[in-house]
């Protein structure tokens, strides 16, 4: 009886340690999220499972927005995860376009930062775009311009509808401790063009890598990927 009790205690201690380690990693280093919509097409696809680097910007007091120490400020061009300002129980993923003090304008599908147009050219390397299915776009691919945009140290793909001009913004100046974000799918993203500025304190971390991705989820377990629809070539894709 005593040996069984000792074994149960040891198992409980092992599970407790594993739980503490997992929670520490989630609080301090990385957390997993699933992309639910097409607002970041073609850079991120629906049902992409991504890791988010929470350590890159600093260390927070657990379960709060307050930093213990800050390492780096978010930079233009990074893909970030954050609490949606209009409902903080929801997490959004967007690309960071403007930092505090930046003057931002978006008109006729062209982006301007501090009076200069962000370089934009037709995308030549379209392997990521080819993974975007018609079901994901809910339209024929031929209806979209596929551009390569370069902002800061980041080059990435964007989609712009050929017929309908995407919602514009500005000119406006990003206030202190705030950011301006946009989705790469410029015609289908609810972002700073609609709800204005993202408070710095709402940022969770930087999107780093796709560790699992699939076309469809299991109908009877909707949070799990259907293994027959996994996008194998996209596994381990580092987010630009």
60 DSSP β-pair partners: 67
Say if CB 206 and CB 74 are below 8 A apart.
Answer: yes
Place of tokens 């995407």: 166
The closest alpha carbon to 77, from 147, 156, 145, belongs to: 156
pLDDT at 145: 86
Q: Which of 146, 159, 154 is nearest to 186 (CA)?
A: 159
Give 27's pLDDT tier (boundaries 50, 70, 90). very low
Q: Read off φ and ψ for residue 129, nearest 5 degrees.
A: -65, -35
For 83, the token pair is 């609490």
Compute the average pLDDT of residues 118-144. 69
Give me the half-sphere count of Cα atoms (radius 13 Å) on the Cβ side of residue 139. Answer: 15
Instruction: Provide the 10 A C-beta neighbour count for residue 101.
Output: 11
Q: What is the DSSP letter of 186?
A: T
**Whether 31 contacts 93, CB under 8 Å:** no
What's 176's DSSP letter?
Answer: T
| Exposure string for 32-68, b = 16+ CB within 10 A, e = fewer | ebbbebbbbbbbbbbbbbbbbbbeebeebeeeeeeee
Structure-model confidence comparison of residues 135 and 1, the more confident one: 135
Q: Which of 39, 43, 157, 189 is catalytic?
A: 39
The model's confidence at residue 19, banded by pLDDT at 50, 70 and 90, is very low
Residue of 178, 176, 195 whose CA lies nearest to 90: 195
Question: Quick check: 25 pLDDT over 50?
Answer: no
Strand partners, 207: 52
End-to-end, the C-alpha distance of the chain in Å comes to: 58
Among residues 54, 94, 178, 200, the one annotated as catalytic is 94
Q: For residue range 166-225, what is the model confidence (pLDDT) as tens digits?
A: 999 989 999 999 999 999 999 999 999 999 999 999 999 999 999 999 988 888 887 788
CATH, residue 52: 2.10.109.10
Whether 39 sits among the annotated catalytic residues: the reply is yes
Using the predicted structure, report yes or no on whether residue 151 has a pLDDT greater than 90: yes
User: Where in the sequence is the domain holding 215, given as residue range(s)?
Assistant: 2-238
pLDDT beyond 80 at 93: yes
Closest among 191, 213, 208 to 136, alpha carbons compared: 213
Q: Is 124 one of the annotated active-site residues of the chain?
A: no
Q: Enter the DSSP assignment of 233.
A: G
How many CB atoms are located within 10 Å of the residue 210 CB?
20
Residue 182: exposed, middle, or buried by beta-carbon count in 10 A (0-12, 13-18, 19+)?
Answer: buried
Number of structural domains the chain divides into: 1
């Amino acid at each position: 009886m005593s040996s069984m009790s000792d074994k149960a205690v040891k198992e409980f201690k092992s599970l407790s340690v594993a739980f503490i380690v997992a929670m520490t990693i989630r609080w301090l280093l990385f957390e997993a999220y699933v992309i639910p919509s097409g607002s970041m097409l073609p850079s991120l696809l629906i049902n992409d499972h991504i890791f988010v680097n929470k350590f890159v910007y600093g260390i927070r007091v657990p379960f709060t927005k307050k930093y213990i120490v800050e390492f780096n400020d978010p930079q233009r061009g990074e893909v970030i995860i954050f609490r949606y300002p209009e409902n903080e129980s929801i997490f959004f993923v967007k690309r960071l376009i403007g930092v505090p003090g930046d003057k931002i304008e978006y008109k006729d599908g062209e982006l301007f930062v501090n009076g200069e147009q962000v370089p934009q050219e037709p995308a030549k390397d379209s392997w990521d775009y080819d993974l975007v299915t018609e079901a994901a776009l809910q339209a024929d691919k031929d209806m979209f311009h596929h551009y390569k945009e370069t902002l800061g140290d980041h080059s990435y793909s964007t989609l712009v509808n050929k017929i309908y001009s995407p919602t514009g913004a500005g000119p406006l100046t990003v206030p202190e401790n705030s950011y301006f974000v946009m989705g790469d799918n410029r015609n289908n993203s609810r972002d700073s063009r609609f709800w204005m500025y993202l408070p710095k304190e709402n940022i969770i971390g930087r999107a780093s890598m796709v560790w699992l991705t699939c076309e469809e989820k299991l109908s009877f377990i909707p949070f799990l990927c259907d293994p027959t629809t996994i996008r194998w070539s996209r596994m381990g894709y580092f987010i630009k």
